[in-house]
Amino acid sequence: MKRYVWQCSKKYKVKGEIGCDNDHVDERDLYEAFGQMVNKLLENREDSIIRLREQIKSEDSLLTYKSEQLINVLELNILYQEFSLELFRLMVEKLLVMDRNIIVVYMFEGTSIEN
């Protein structure tokens, strides 16, 4: 069974120099952090939809598009059960790994959730 890990994008930016001293992170830990973020959004579905509808008024076309798509997902009223790359790409702007135990998920619409 293969084990996938993620590492800082700046770790080996310059050949021969270590630009970041963070360890790698198991992919399943990132999936778990993403799942916790989705579940928090689903728990507060109505508030999330209200906030997203406000962001649709933005002049930022990417933010408007992502907000509309996310509203569609939230209105389906489904439970998050397993990792979905499509949903991940829709929702996540970036992940910040503070250490192996602290992962902050930043969403396109401005929410951030610390795991």
* E-strand stretches of the chain: 5-6, 25-26, 92-99, 102-107, 112-114
Measured distance CA(38)–CA(45) in Å, rounded: 10
Instruction: Give the chain's count of helices (H) and strands (E).
Output: 4, 5
Residue 73 backbone phi and psi in degrees, to 5: -65, -45
Q: How far apart are CA 106 and CA 101, in angstroms?
A: 16
Residue-level pLDDT at 39: 84
Q: What is residue 100's predicted lDDT score, i.e. its pLDDT?
A: 63
Averages of pLDDT over runs of 10 residues in the chain (115 residues) are: 72 71 77 84 88 86 87 82 84 79 81 79
Amino acid at 22: N
